[in-house]
Structure 1
């Protein structure tokens, strides 16, 4: 037995099992959405029994919030490499746009679940705190990209973080819907929209370095 294994507490094992269950549940949640998912349905589409799922999560709401928080905690670091590697403003915009397109193609069900959950929070008060927290982390992620872009362009952002997030999130959601509806050219359209929008987010029209 290794030292790391020996030091694992019951709480650590409990949290690890919850994370494993959440990873399994995300597949079903992404396919069925909030309203059509139940703990039993989630269990039926995983390797875990309904009793096991119910032991670790009191109800569907607790499981879904845990799942989305876990997923989005990974998402918020998706663009860190783009920010770190870009040496010019143009490189940053291209890398950012490419990554947005990539995540729609690779993870559309998870994004669909997130927008579903955010809409449901309008009616489910118990969802609102979690949704607002996740929304804030996503806003912070977008702001890191835009503020770095502004630095590389020798300019300052012309809008607040919340406005910037609202604009880019709106474009992303529209592109996601278009992709799910199999609209032709929607992903290239998103790339073009991001390239067009980013300079508008700067206070002054400055030619980017490089």
Structure 2
């Protein structure tokens, strides 16, 4: 008489651990909090204010995050973890130095418009780290990932140009980030010309990273 074969559970289906569920809930809370944080900034946003503008109660938010600082750092880390891959397609598909610069500048303009509140929150957090010692380690770590992101673009430009950068990665990041931060402020102030001027500044700055004269100078 044939016997039935026991039903087995597919090995590919892994059960989520309590730690996985906890991390998943923190991610959901961070996603929900980002809009409020982007609107209010570091100083004005409290855990209660964040909870009031989300589908989660103040008690739930406080259960998953120790305090406002814990939540904000987690939010920015989560957001920037996505941002640092933003220019990968630009790097991958560029075939000429000029094409790379144009695509890079266009991507900067797009993110300036589409995600201004998130960038404002980042610069706010970075400024606050000058006064909040507990913020500094996280801010420095995020800043390094952004520097690495920009350096990947610069290195690809170097490969296409056939010459080495004349400045280190920190200098390149400082120059391009400075342009972006200034453009963000102008955009928040309602400047209609900043999008065109940002792209033009990027086109002028990239050759300077290699000690090359800018066309027309």
Q: Same fold (TM over 0.5)?
A: yes
CA distance in 1, matches of 2:153, 2:10: 41
SS at match of 1:123: coil
CA distance in 2, matches of 1:173, 1:7: 44
Give how far 1:206 is off: 11
* Corresponding residue number in structure 2 for 1:167: 175
1:184 aligns to 2:184 (yes or no): no
* Corresponding residue number in structure 2 for 1:101: 109
**Matching residue within 33, 43, 52 for 2:51:** 43
CA distance in 1, matches of 2:115, 2:11: 36
CA distance in 2, matches of 1:29, 1:41: 9
Indicate conservation of the 8 Å contact 1:34/1:116, yes or no. yes
CA distance in 2, matches of 1:168, 1:80: 17
| RMSD of equivalent CA atoms | 1.7
SS at match of 1:144: helix
Indicate conservation of the 8 Å contact 1:153/1:206, yes or no. no
Aligned ranges 1:1-210 → 2 under 5 Å: 6-203=14-211
The one of the two structures with greater contact order (alpha-carbon pairs below 8 A, sep at least 6) is: 1
* Corresponding residue number in structure 1 for 2:6: none
Q: Flag structure 1 segments of 5+ consecutive residues without an equivalent.
A: none
Q: Flag structure 2 segments of 5+ consecutive residues without an equivalent.
A: 1-8
Give how far 1:155 is off: 1.0
CA distance in 1, matches of 2:214, 2:163: 7
The structure that is helix-richer by fraction is 1
CA distance in 2, matches of 1:65, 1:140: 19
CA distance in 1, matches of 2:62, 2:10: 31
CA distance in 2, matches of 1:185, 1:63: 35
Q: Deviation string for 1:110-140 (max 9, x for gaps)?
A: 0000000000000000000000000000000
Q: Deviation string for 1:78-130 (max 9, x for gaps)?
A: 00000000011111000000000000111000000000000000000000000
Indicate conservation of the 8 Å contact 2:90/2:104, yes or no. yes
CA distance in 2, matches of 1:3, 1:59: 39
Give how far 1:2 is off: 7.8
Give how far 1:19 is off: 0.1
